[in-house]
Every structure is written in structure tokens, then in C-alpha cells.
């Protein structure tokens, strides 16, 4: 196992900077997930750590040793790729043990280590098969076995589940988490799938445009997104946003005639200033009855989820989605009423996108 320290990391391709001065610490034995959309630089970051790309500036240290000029094989990292990268003409056993064979490990020791890894990944009965005879999940387990057998200090996962169907993705997430708990190895997992990120991560790194937007425990990132971007990216369905203007130090107005009291104690911009209100679909309370603090909600479409429903419609002249329990059963085109609890509202600066927090 090893910790990873990254300082001022930059990467440019043909004069275009892709990674912009990243600072990041990965703890020994931690499972860190890097989350972001395609093109945000997350896979490039992983390849820079592995040594598959040369850094343009900055420093990477693994286990206290600066690795900037070390070859990939000298860094103590093992990488699991999206496309499995298995040798089609080799058996499962030969694929898993190939790195040991190249390293000159004796056949007896290779056989013993292959057997141990195969048992860990429940591949015992598949060792004589070739990749073409395996399912997608089995192939991914072979790819992980090939990484595990090297006994690396760091595991690097580059969107390893993106080629699997939905059911297999769930199964493999569980297997990867169990594997990490057994091995307790430092791991960095890159994905664009927020469900993978939320379920796997000890800590979560959200990237945008080659920069880190927020680092924290998954629940903290979900409950207290530091920027409008993070708030919009984390959560399914996504957070609802309302353009608003400040009326007083603790009151904002939005839509045609909607207003909300927020105990912000002076942290809001001056009256007339623009802010963005964010409310998660599950935090909006929906009812058939009107009230002094309720807003009309025009239901346009209903999505059944079994345990509940998603209601799509218009709230305060804004497209909005509300998550409700199955007991709430409106009809399409019905006008209901929504209450937004002030304590559940996230407020962001309309210019900078940064979160505005109340003064303690």
C-alpha cells in the first residue's frame, strides 16, 4: 500500500492544457473515486499517475517517492482498463499470470499465485477458458486478477464497468468493493457514473474542465455541494434550479411572484443581487392542498418507479421534477401545490457559481 501526493499537476497536448494545476492527496488504503463528464481530464489524471502520459508540470509522489521520471513498471501501480485488454489466444490462467511470466517468476510460484487470485475472484472453474468463452463480468474479473497478482501498491481503475449491462454493473460494483475491503489497497477509480461514484468511494473527487471542483465524502458532496456545477452533476434526478433575486438580507424572490425566507444572516448579495436556488427533487413537499407557503405545481408527466414516482412539471415558471412516495398519486395536467422547506435550499452566487452559506 502507498499514499499518493500530487502537487501543481499540469498536462498539455499540442499547446492545449487539459489538466490545470491539480493538488490532491490520496490516503494509504483509501478508495478514491474521480467523477466527471467525458473530456474533464479524469482519465488523463489517471494515466499521468500510472506513467502512461508524461506530465507537463508538477509533481507526483507515490509512497513518498517522486515518480515523475520513473517508467510505468517502476511505479508500483496496476491499471484496469475499460476494454479489459485481455490476450484472446491465452487462457484465463495465462492472462492472469502473464506479468509474472515476463518477470521470470518460476512456474510453480506462478501456479500458486494464480490459484490464490482465481479463488479470490471466483474464477477457479474458468482458468482453462479463453476470453471469448467468458461473459463481460468474467472478463473484467480476469482483468482485475491480472492487476492483483502483481501485488501493486496502487490500483488504478479507468471506467472498468462502462461496457457492462446495468445488472452486471451492480454486481461488479459489489465485487470491487468487497475486493478492496479484503486487500485494503490504495485505489483510484475513474468514472462518469455518479451511482458508481457514490456507492464505491471513501472520498469523492468531482472534476470539471481539468480542475477539481470538490473533494469530500460522497454524502457530504451530495448534501453540501460547493459549486453550482457540483450540485447539477451529483444527484439523479438532478437538482432543480431557480433563478432568484435578493429582496432583503434573508428573503429572495423567484418566478413571477414566488418568494422564500432564508436565514442567511447577511451572506446574501445586496438587495437586487442575483442568486441561484437549488432544491433536490426529494426535498420538495407535494400536496393537493394550497397554503400560505405553497406554490402551484403544474404536473405535466408522471414517471412510475414502483416505490415512488417522479413528477415533471412547472413550478414558479421553471421546469421542475419532484420525487414523491407512491401514496401521492396525481394525474397528468393536474395542478398540485409544492412547499420548499427553507432548510433544504442550496444557494449559489449567480456570477461565480460558488455556494453561499449562512453565518453560524
DSSP 8-class letter at 269: P
Q: Which of 295, 292, 281 is nearest to 335 (CA)?
A: 295
Q: Where are the domains of the chain?
A: 4-226, 237-349
Structure confidence by residue, pLDDT tens digits, 171-196: 888 888 888 888 888 999 999 999 99
The yes-or-no verdict on residue 257 having pLDDT over 90 is: no
**Percent of the chain at pLDDT exceeding 70:** 98
Residue 357's pLDDT band (boundaries 50, 70, 90)?
confident
The confidence score (pLDDT) of residue 358 equals: 67
The yes-or-no verdict on residue 295 having pLDDT over 60 is: yes
The confidence score (pLDDT) of residue 349 equals: 95
The confidence score (pLDDT) of residue 133 equals: 94
Measured CA angle at 300 (ends 241, 251), to 5 deg:
30
The yes-or-no verdict on residue 250 having pLDDT over 70 is: yes
The yes-or-no verdict on residue 265 having pLDDT over 70 is: no
Structure confidence by residue, pLDDT tens digits, 27-46: 999 999 999 999 999 999 99
DSSP 8-class letter at 342: G
The yes-or-no verdict on residue 169 having pLDDT over 60 is: yes
Residue 325's pLDDT band (boundaries 50, 70, 90)?
confident
The confidence score (pLDDT) of residue 120 equals: 85
CATH superfamily of 237-349: Nucleic acid-binding proteins (2.40.50.140)
3-state secondary structure of 86: coil
DSSP 8-class letter at 227: B
For residue 259, count CB atoms less than 10 angstroms from its CB and return exposed for 0-12, middle for 13-18, buried for 19 or more. middle
Mean pLDDT of the chain: 92
The yes-or-no verdict on residue 275 having pLDDT over 70 is: yes
- Which three cell numbers mark 53? 502520459
Structure confidence by residue, pLDDT tens digits, 44-81: 999 999 999 999 999 999 999 999 999 998 999 999 98
* Euclidean distance between CA atoms 144 and 177, whole angstroms: 12
Structure confidence by residue, pLDDT tens digits, 86-117: 999 999 999 999 989 988 999 999 999 999 99
Residue 1's pLDDT band (boundaries 50, 70, 90)?
low
Q: In CATH terms, are 4-226 and 237-349 the same topology?
A: no
Q: Which of 6, 2, 150 is nearest to 80 (CA)?
A: 150
Cβ(206)–Cβ(234) below 8 Å? yes
Does the domain made of 4-226 have the CATH classification 3.40.50.300? yes
* Mean pLDDT, residues 162-177 taken together: 85
The confidence score (pLDDT) of residue 171 equals: 85
* Euclidean distance between CA atoms 356 and 360, whole angstroms: 12
* Euclidean distance between CA atoms 142 and 85, whole angstroms: 10
Amino acid at each position: 500500500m502507498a499514499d499518493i501526493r500530487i502537487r501543481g499537476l499540469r498536462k498539455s497536448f499540442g499547446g492545449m492544457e487539459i489538466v490545470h494545476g491539480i493538488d490532491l492527496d490520496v490516503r494509504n488504503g483509501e478508495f478514491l473515486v474521480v467523477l466527471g463528464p467525458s473530456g474533464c481530464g479524469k482519465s488523463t489524471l489517471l494515466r499521468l499517475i500510472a506513467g502512461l502520459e508524461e506530465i507537463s508540470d508538477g509533481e507526483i509522489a507515490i509512497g513518498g517517492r517522486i515518480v515523475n521520471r520513473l517508467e510505468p513498471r517502476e511505479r508500483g501501480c496496476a491499471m484496469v482498463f475499460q476494454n479489459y485488454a485481455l490476450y484472446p489466444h491465452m487462457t484465463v490462467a495465462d492472462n492472469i499470470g502473464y506479468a509474472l511470466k515476463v518477470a521470470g517468476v518460476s512456474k510453480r510460484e506462478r501456479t500458486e499465485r494464480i490459484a490464490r487470485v482465481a479463488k479470490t475472484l471466483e474464477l477457479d472453474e474458468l482458468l482453462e477458458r479463453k476470453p471469448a468463452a467468458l461473459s463481460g463480468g468474467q472478463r473484467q474479473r480476469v482483468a482485475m486478477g491480472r492487476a492483483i497478482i502483481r501485488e501493486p501498491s496502487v490500483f488504478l481503475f479507468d471506467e472498468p464497468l462502462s461496457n457492462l449491462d446495468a445488472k452486471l454493473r451492480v454486481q461488479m460494483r459489489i465485487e470491487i468493493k468487497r475486493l478492496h475491503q479484503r486487500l485494503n489497497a490504495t485505489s483510484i477509480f475513474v468514472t462518469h457514473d455518479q451511482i458508481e461514484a457514490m456507492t464505491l468511494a471513501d472520498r469523492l473527487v468531482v472534476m470539471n474542465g481539468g480542475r477539481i471542483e470538490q473533494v469530500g465524502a460522497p454524502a457530504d458532496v451530495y448534501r453540501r455541494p460547493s459549486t453550482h456545477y457540483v450540485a447539477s452533476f451529483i444527484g439523479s434526478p438532478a437538482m432543480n434550479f431557480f433563478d432568484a433575486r435578493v429582496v432583503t438580507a434573508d428573503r429572495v424572490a423567484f418566478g413571477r411572484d414566488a418568494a422564500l425566507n432564508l436565514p442567511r444572516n447577511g451572506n446574501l448579495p445586496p438587495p437586487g443581487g442575483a442568486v441561484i436556488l437549488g432544491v433536490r427533487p426529494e426535498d420538495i413537499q407535494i400536496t393537493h392542498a394550497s397554503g400560505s407557503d405553497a406554490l402551484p405545481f403544474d404536473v405535466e408527466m408522471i414517471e412510475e418507479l414502483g416505490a415512488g414516482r417522479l413528477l415533471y412539471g412547472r413550478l414558479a415558471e421553471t421546469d421542475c421534477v419532484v420525487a414523491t412516495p407512491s401514496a401521492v398519486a396525481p394525474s397528468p395536467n393536474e395542478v398540485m401545490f409544492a412547499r420548499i422547506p427553507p432548510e433544504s435550499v442550496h444557494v449559489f452566487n449567480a456570477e461565480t457559481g460558488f455556494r453561499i452559506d449562512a453565518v453560524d
